[in-house]
Structure 1
Amino acid sequence: MAEIKMQDRGQTTWKDQIRQAVDSTMSNPLIRDFQTFRDDLKQKAIDVWERGKDLTYQLTGTNYKARGNKLGTAYEKGAIYNELERRTRDQRDTQSETRKPDTNRPDSTQSDHERNQELSGHANSTTKQATNRIDRTTETNRTSQSARQSSLSEDLERFKQQQRDQQRTISRDAKRRAKPLQRADKDRQSKDNRRTAKDKQRPTGQQQHVENPKRQPKPDRSRDYGPSR
């Protein structure tokens, strides 16, 4: 809910900040081990540590943190370690190639024609190596780009599913809360209907309260019996 509110206000969530920092760190080809990876993220105000089978990222000085599997497949422990190991292996191969003795050094006894052929062959091999490296780098970039795109699509689908679940929960709670009110309205309506029906059954000119009959005046009997004594 906090992420949804921040996105509605147009703010960047802490998960997006962590993703951007990790992407910036991994774009640096000099990051080849986990310690360097951790130090570079530390400079970007991101703390990272191993926790079980995954990594945990946290904004420095806050309680906002998330595990790698919650950010995407490209931010999990396995993906980070595999990329760092690949870079270390490529560096080791490059250093071993530079340390090999130069067996293609031209011999003074060779003729100019033979020397030119060797040089042309060496140039072709160098071109092939550069082409192979470019192809391998392109394939790596495509793989990482496809992995990031898949992780973003998975995160978007997971976010949509969370929104649908929250909407179902809200509608279900609203229906549950509305049932007692609807029942009370029905009872009140039925009572009003019964009262209206009773009022209709009563005669129109009937008086609800019967008035007390007027008292008749007492007859004057003094005339019959003579004057009173």
Structure 2
Amino acid sequence: MIKTYAKVIVKGSPLSKSNFKLFNVNGRAILPHNSGKYHDRYALYEEEIAYEARCQNPGVVLGEALIAVLNVYYKSKKRHPDTNNITKSIFDGIEKSGLIINDAQVRRLIIEEFYDEINPRFELELFGESTYFIDYKILKKEIVEEPIQYSPPPNKSKSPKIHNSKSCASLHQNDKLHCEICGKKIKKENSISANNGKTIICKECLTKLF
């Protein structure tokens, strides 16, 4: 019987491949596994994923287009890899296991982020599109919860801030002005600023509005 579903669970905090890529003197990307350095962790993690995928799905090979649902459980809410970056590391390991032919088979991907201090892990479900389809919707909560706030990384340079409307107006003066309505280039003397200097409208369009 041809299988159209598989599930893989790998315990431990997921690792992001982008954090472990090295380059040799010729500029070719390498990923050592026995250098004795911290970078070995990723290659070993990829092998662990491949091993678990094969042990949990013996003899299964999914060769068709797939829908993937990835649930990631981190140990901490504040310190963990970028969820968007870990998919590459996970699917490289799944492909290496032989459970799938190529990670390009995954045409639809849903990722959800959770937290479990005691049992960090990821749970991946793969569904064959010949048998399964996605049906989902986003609903507004009846009771608003406390938001999870994020702050920029400490090493990220801060972008210049514009403190008032005068600064906005000065930016418009330095650049070529364009009417927000008709899109035509206009001279400063033929323009009207609105919305505290953030919006520029030509006098012709302003006349049409009224």
Q: What TM-score do the two structures reach when normalised by structure 1?
A: 0.19
Indicate the structure with greater strand content: 2
Structure with more relative contact order (C-alpha pairs < 8 Å, separation 6 or more): 2
Indicate the structure with greater helix content: 1
